[in-house]
Chain A
Amino acid sequence: LAKTTQPISMDSYEGQEVNITCSHNNIATNDYITWYQQFPSQGPRFIIQGYKTKVTNEVASLFIPADRKSSTLSLPRVSLSDTAVYYCLVGGTYNTDKLIFGTGTRLQVFP
């Protein structure tokens, strides 16, 4: 299972775009990159997943460079309700039974 590294915390203001980068240097060929969001006192919830290039949904975008050794979660025009911890998880369809989370990035959005 690829080890991931993220910044421990980030601050932003409402209306700004936030980019959170995750490093995963030993990502395997079959691995996907999945991001979760966790609000206080709740379980994590799935935000977005990608394999390569760019993925966009109604909540976020995920940018993955060609070497796939890192990925960037982009949250457009954040609001106070985006204050949460964001986790990057790397795993594949054939080689991942254990799913171990990294430390996550604590995003604080200010008014």
Chain B
Amino acid sequence: NAGVTQTPKFRILKIGQSMTLQCTQDMNHNYMYWYRQDPGMGLKLIYYSVGAGITDKGEVPNGYNVSRSTTEDFPLRLELAAPSQTSVYFCASRFRDRGRFNEQFFGPGTRLTVL
């Protein structure tokens, strides 16, 4: 299993441009998450999904959009990029069942700079 994969690894955007950060997991996890991490800071939840076709806002959703058309993929869309969106973006997934509280698996991250 590759686990959680993210593309691209690095990206530089100009102000006002848009892009999609890709996230794919091959563990058949039902839950997926997007976090951002600013330099020296903790993780902030942007959006999450509890299954295909279902998404919900996290702590800092403004300026982002998501979709979940398949179990495996959870892309994050940035529209009209702003310098405040310069950050490292992490995707995570986990399997939610009734038996235990399963841990999250994180991808390697995408480092985004908006100039």
A residues sitting closer than 8 Å to B (CB atoms) are 31-32, 34, 36, 41-46, 49, 85, 87, 91-94, 96-104
Contact = CB atoms under 8 A, between A and B. Distances in A.
A92 B100 CA distance: 8
A41 B89 CA distance: 11
A15 B59 CA distance: 39
Contacts of A46: 103-105
B108 interface: yes
Interface of B: 4, 31, 33, 35, 41-45, 48, 50, 56, 58-59, 88, 90, 92, 96-101, 103-109
Given A43-B92, A43-B109, A44-B43, 20 more contacts: A32-B101, A36-B104, A41-B88, A42-B109, A43-B107, A44-B104, A44-B106, A87-B42, A93-B98, A93-B99, A93-B100, A97-B56, A98-B58, A99-B33, A99-B45, A100-B45, A100-B59, A101-B44, A101-B45, A104-B42
B101 A91 contact: yes
A27 B41 CA distance: 24
Contacts of A99: 33, 45, 48, 104
Contacts of B44: 101
From B43, B44, B56, B90, residue with most partner A Cβ within 10 Å: B43
